[in-house]
Chains A and B, each alone.
Chain A
Amino acid sequence: MGLTLEVKDLSKNFGKIKAVQGLNLSIESGQVYGLLGPNGSGKTTTLGMLLDVVAPTSGSYSWFGGKSNVESRKQIGAILETPCFYPYLTAVQNLRISAHIKEVSNDRIEATLDQVGLLERKNDKFKTYSLGMKQRLSIAAALIADPPVLILDEPTNGLDPQGIAEIRRLITDIAAQGKTIVLASHLLDEVQKVCTDFCVLRNGVKLHEGPVQDILGETNTVEIAAEDNSKLSDTLKDFNGQKKRYEENGSIFMELEDSFSSTDVNAFCFEKGITLHKLITQTNSLEQEFLKILKEND
């Protein structure tokens, strides 16, 4: 496990706007790293700097422990926002350009197109593609050199639910091969499902960083429901270990004190002669955590 990327004190100003301010990051090889933040929080600018298309105002970064930037980029598959290809060329012709730049043979073109489900359309011009197909072609281009590192900026932008699911599966598959992935997204569900670590950016400042695992896990809120919710609600007034109770969407939510758990709730209701048909311990989601982080830093 080596250090794939190290970012030190990176800043970028566009005139008076401070797009990124003093960003420090280190990404280990094999991590799937989520870069979160609202629109305009500096995600794309950060990735642009790491890929040498935006010049940093100050600060530095190094890939693979100090390899030259041009050589490093050949080992990084990256898409930044929109898919960029020559509209008058076919998928295969476009990928030949990527393969040439990355100094890899053309042998993988077909396999890569197959991987993203574009093999049948390989000889059609890029301009005839739908947005989803364009997005998938850009993922194919990122994968063409079988790179150890992938940078994906909003890879599911503009895709339909099926497309989103496909891309997500693709990312999970790639991550399972031990590749390092940096994923910028505001689709938190996405990041939660595939990322191992994440950080939250807002207005170019890093607000939080840590493993996704740490913030997930169970909470002490239970969601319960029975045939007759009003009777259940009345009965629950006598339950001792509760901090807070409220009804929402036909269920009762109850925040429990630390020494109590869902088992106690179930036993209590059973004693009172009520059969529950729903008893779920709530888990944290990245979305809640993300909103909480943004709120705490307001």
Chain B
Amino acid sequence: MIRAFKLEWLKIRNYKVFWILLGMYLLALVVISSFGVFFLEWLKAKGADFEGIDPTILPIYDFPDIWQNTTYLASFIKVLLGFIVIISINNDQSYLTMRQNVIDGISKREFLLSKLSLILFLGFVSTTFLFAAGLINGSIYSHVQGTTYIFDELEFLAAYFYDIVVFCTLAFLLTILIKKTGFVIIALTLYSLMFEPILGLFLEYQPQIQDTYWPKLLPYLPIKSLNNLIPVPFPRYFFQEIVDDVPMSAVAISTGWLSFYLGSIYFLLSRRDLK
């Protein structure tokens, strides 16, 4: 795996586009994880009130809830990491360097591993970054301190990491299938941010099918299963409804999808003539 990552590292180390995109993504992470306070202030200024509760006193940055809150929000911009993966893989396809790499002496499996190592790297960087941002924000705003609180519920960071890995592997598969950067980016964005969520709403709320077995399929959809890894944290503040575990069913379904993506990529790559 180290050898596989070294190959990828040699490709990205001096690739400006990669670092600019990653920088922009990390900047977006900072914004998402740190501007909650200002968002609540904004809500207050707009006159929002929740049954007489001043929004600014909502303890969104309290340990350990902060982990679920920030990973939930950060998960929305994982599509940007998907773009980085798409560009990186498509470069190797359009420059014919994937072919040259194989000619020079790697197997297609090693190529797959090198891209997987890139995905793991991106997941690791994002998670570490979010962890650091959480520590800083928490130490400023949290009403409770101390290691028992800080290191509780870190499983949400693990879920966030896994979310990124599975999502980027989907991006990998789409790039191998579609081959055109622009198309893949549009397809991935539309599907994950629009088509599947709308399909989800339809399945859940369409009166005619509400009593059929269709809504039961919802948790099995590729994006929905990833989104289910980190349950929506905010109801706890309004309805005292607390879901603060990573649901194992979502982990199992996502793992199913991950195996499907990797298997398909391997199948496609090993059958494909690289010309």
Does A55 have its Cβ within 8 Å of any Cβ on chain B?
yes
The CA-CA distance from A76 to B104 in the complex, in Å, is: 8
Chain A residue nearest in CB terms to B273 = A54
Q: Is the CB of A70 within 8 A of B105?
A: yes
Does B101 have its Cβ within 8 Å of any Cβ on chain A?
yes
Given the known interface contacts A73-B103, A86-B95, the answer about A93 and B274 at a Cβ–Cβ threshold of 8 Å is: no
Interface residues of B in 1-32 (CB under 8 A from A): 3, 6-7, 10-11, 13-17
Q: Is the CB of B106 within 8 A of A70?
A: yes
Does B264 have its Cβ within 8 Å of any Cβ on chain A?
no
Does B209 have its Cβ within 8 Å of any Cβ on chain A?
no
B 69-108 to A, binary, CB cutoff 8 A, 1 in contact else 0: 0000000000000000000000100011101111111110
Q: Is the CB of A97 within 8 A of B7?
A: yes
Does A270 have its Cβ within 8 Å of any Cβ on chain B?
no
Chain B residue nearest in CB terms to A138 = B100
Question: Which of B10, B17, B95, B107 is in CB contact (< 8 Å) with A100?
Answer: B10
Q: Is the CB of A84 within 8 A of B97?
A: yes
Q: Is the CB of B102 within 8 A of A84?
A: no
Q: Is the CB of B91 within 8 A of A86?
A: yes
Does B271 have its Cβ within 8 Å of any Cβ on chain A?
yes
Q: Is the CB of A84 within 8 A of B95?
A: yes
Does A17 have its Cβ within 8 Å of any Cβ on chain B?
no
Report chain B residues within 8 Å CB of A48.
Answer: 273-275
Chain B residue nearest in CB terms to A75 = B105
The CA-CA distance from A80 to B274 in the complex, in Å, is: 11
B positions within 8 Å CB-CB of A: 3, 6-7, 10-11, 13-17, 91, 95-97, 99-107, 110, 271, 273-275
Given the known interface contacts A73-B105, A141-B104, the answer about A80 and B99 at a Cβ–Cβ threshold of 8 Å is: yes
Nearest chain B CB to A4 CB, angstrom units? 16
User: Given known contacts A84-B97, A86-B95, what 10 new A-B pairs fall within 8 Å (CB)?
Assistant: A48-B274, A53-B99, A53-B103, A53-B274, A54-B274, A73-B103, A84-B95, A86-B97, A103-B105, A141-B104
A 8-49 to B, binary, CB cutoff 8 A, 1 in contact else 0: 000000000000000000000000000000000000000010
Report chain A residues within 8 Å CB of B105.
Answer: 70-71, 73-74, 76, 101-103
Given the known interface contacts A51-B102, A53-B103, A54-B274, the answer about A93 and B14 at a Cβ–Cβ threshold of 8 Å is: yes
Q: Is the CB of B103 within 8 A of A78?
A: yes
Chain A residue nearest in CB terms to B271 = A55
Q: Is the CB of B96 within 8 A of A84?
A: yes
Does A85 have its Cβ within 8 Å of any Cβ on chain B?
yes
The CA-CA distance from A90 to B15 in the complex, in Å, is: 11
Does A89 have its Cβ within 8 Å of any Cβ on chain B?
yes
Chain A residue nearest in CB terms to B272 = A55
The CA-CA distance from A89 to B91 in the complex, in Å, is: 12
Q: Is the CB of B16 within 8 A of A102?
A: no
The CA-CA distance from A55 to B269 in the complex, in Å, is: 11
The CA-CA distance from A272 to B100 in the complex, in Å, is: 67
Interface residues of A in 114-142 (CB under 8 A from B): 141
Q: Is the CB of B10 within 8 A of A53?
A: no
Interface residues of A in 61-76 (CB under 8 A from B): 70-71, 73-74, 76
Nearest chain A CB to B55 CB, angstrom units? 47
Chain A residue nearest in CB terms to B106 = A101
Question: Which of B104, B274, B275 is in CB contact (< 8 Å) with A102?
Answer: B104
Report chain A residues within 8 Å CB of B100.
Answer: 80, 84-85, 141
Q: Is the CB of A51 within 8 A of B275?
A: no
The CA-CA distance from A183 to B119 in the complex, in Å, is: 39
Q: Is the CB of A87 within 8 A of B95?
A: yes
19 pairs from A and B in contact (CB 8 Å cutoff)? A48-B273, A51-B103, A52-B102, A53-B99, A53-B103, A54-B275, A55-B271, A70-B105, A70-B107, A76-B105, A84-B99, A86-B97, A87-B95, A88-B14, A88-B15, A89-B11, A89-B15, A97-B10, A100-B3
Chain A residue nearest in CB terms to B102 = A53
Does A98 have its Cβ within 8 Å of any Cβ on chain B?
yes
Report chain B residues within 8 Å CB of A80.
Answer: 99-100, 103
Does A206 have its Cβ within 8 Å of any Cβ on chain B?
no
Report chain A residues within 8 Å CB of B16.
Answer: 88
The CA-CA distance from A132 to B96 in the complex, in Å, is: 18
Report chain A residues within 8 Å CB of B104.
Answer: 73-74, 78, 98, 101-102, 141
Nearest chain B CB to A199 CB, angstrom units? 22
Chain B residue nearest in CB terms to A54 = B273
Does A219 have its Cβ within 8 Å of any Cβ on chain B?
no
Q: Is the CB of B273 within 8 A of A101?
A: no
- Of A53, A54, A102, A141, most B-chain CB atoms within 10 Å: A53
Report chain B residues within 8 Å CB of A74.
Answer: 104-105
Chain A residue nearest in CB terms to B15 = A88
Does A202 have its Cβ within 8 Å of any Cβ on chain B?
no
The 5 A-B pairs of least Cβ separation, nearest first, read A74-B105, A84-B96, A84-B100, A73-B105, A53-B274
Does A105 have its Cβ within 8 Å of any Cβ on chain B?
no
Q: Is the CB of A101 within 8 A of B101?
A: yes
Does A58 have its Cβ within 8 Å of any Cβ on chain B?
no
Nearest chain B CB to A155 CB, angstrom units? 14
